[in-house]
Every structure is written in structure tokens, then in C-alpha cells.
């Protein structure tokens, strides 16, 4: 059996690298730089997070919308306030209580490609 520590990174597929770079920089202040060996892929990072975004064409919007990126945060109320300040009003909030461990409150919205972005705040006492 392989023992995992955490998910290290993911790669999101998008239709426009430049639009995604602007969006993720504006919303999360991520550093987004082209991958040296592939200019259609961005290396997206902050001190605690890193992942890739690759531009693709000919992929259905349904496929793009099935992608999901979730970030853990300390305070979900701050996320909601920041979204409103950024003019992002089409978001939902709720709680997830189906795991035995790591249940959470959540806030989610969609990026310009329809990719679901979620922020979660783990809260003791939310277990079933």
C-alpha cells in the first residue's frame, strides 16, 4: 500500500491561459508563470499552494465544468466578504457532514471556464 501525505498538485484544463492567469491573480493573488517547456501551461503558486493550468481546445464546456478545485481556509466569512468585494455574487455556501473525518463548511463559485472553485473551513463538531 502507498501511504499518502497530501495531494501535491493538480492540473486544470482551460480555454484561455491569459484569461485564467488574470482571474487567478485577481481573486487569489497567485503568481502565474508560463512553464518553461510549455507556454500553454501556467505554473500557479503561492507560498502554500501550487498547481498547473493548461490551455486546451476542442473540449466540451461540460467537461471543463466537471473540474473542481478546493482550498482550505481559516475563515469562510472572509472568503464571502472578499468575493463580494471582487464583484463575484454568484456563489453558494453550505456544510458537508458525510465524512467520518474532515467535515467542513464550504463556499463555492465558478471561474470563467465554469470550473468549480471551493473554499472550505474545517470545523470541529460538524461530524454526523
For residue 2, is it within any domain?
A: no
Q: What is the dihedral of CA 22, 112, 110, 40, to 10 degrees?
A: -70
Q: What is the mean pLDDT of the chain?
A: 92
CA-closest candidate to residue 21, choices 41, 47, 49:
41
pLDDT at 57 over 80: yes
Q: Assign residue 22 the CATH number of its domain.
A: 3.10.180.10
pLDDT computed for residue 128 by the predictor: 53
For residue 5, is it within any domain?
A: no
Range of the domain at 104: 11-122
Distance of alpha carbon 106 from alpha carbon 31, whole angstroms: 24
When divided into structural domains, the chain yields a total of 1
For residue 109, is it within any domain?
A: yes
Alpha helix locations (H) across the chain? 17-28, 61-65, 76-85
SS3 95: strand
pLDDT at 127 over 70: no
For residue 118, is it within any domain?
A: yes
Q: Which three cell numbers, joined as nine digits, stand for 77?
A: 466569512
For residue 4, is it within any domain?
A: no
For residue 103, is it within any domain?
A: yes
CA-closest candidate to residue 8, choices 39, 52, 42, 41:
52
For residue 6, is it within any domain?
A: no
What's the pLDDT tens digit per position in 86-116? Answer: 999 999 999 998 888 888 999 999 999 999 9
For residue 3, is it within any domain?
A: no
- Measuring CA to CA, how many Å separate 115 from each of 16, 22, 97, 126? 13, 15, 23, 27
Amino acid at each position: 500500500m502507498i501511504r499518502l501525505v497530501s495531494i501535491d498538485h493538480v492540473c486544470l484544463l482551460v480555454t484561455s491561459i491569459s484569461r485564467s492567469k488574470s482571474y487567478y491573480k485577481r481573486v487569489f493573488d497567485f503568481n502565474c508563470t508560463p512553464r518553461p517547456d510549455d507556454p500553454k501551461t501556467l505554473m500557479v503558486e503561492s507560498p502554500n499552494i501550487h498547481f498547473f493550468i493548461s490551455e486546451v481546445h476542442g473540449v466540451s464546456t461540460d467537461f471543463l465544468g466537471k473540474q473542481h478545485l478546493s482550498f482550505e481556509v481559516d475563515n469562510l466569512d472572509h472568503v464571502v466578504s472578499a468575493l463580494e468585494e471582487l464583484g463575484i455574487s454568484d456563489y453558494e455556501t453550505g456544510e458537508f457532514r458525510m465524512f467520518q473525518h474532515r467535515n467542513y463548511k464550504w463556499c463555492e463559485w465558478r471561474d470563467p471556464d465554469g470550473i468549480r472553485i471551493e473554499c472550505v473551513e474545517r470545523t470541529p463538531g460538524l461530524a454526523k
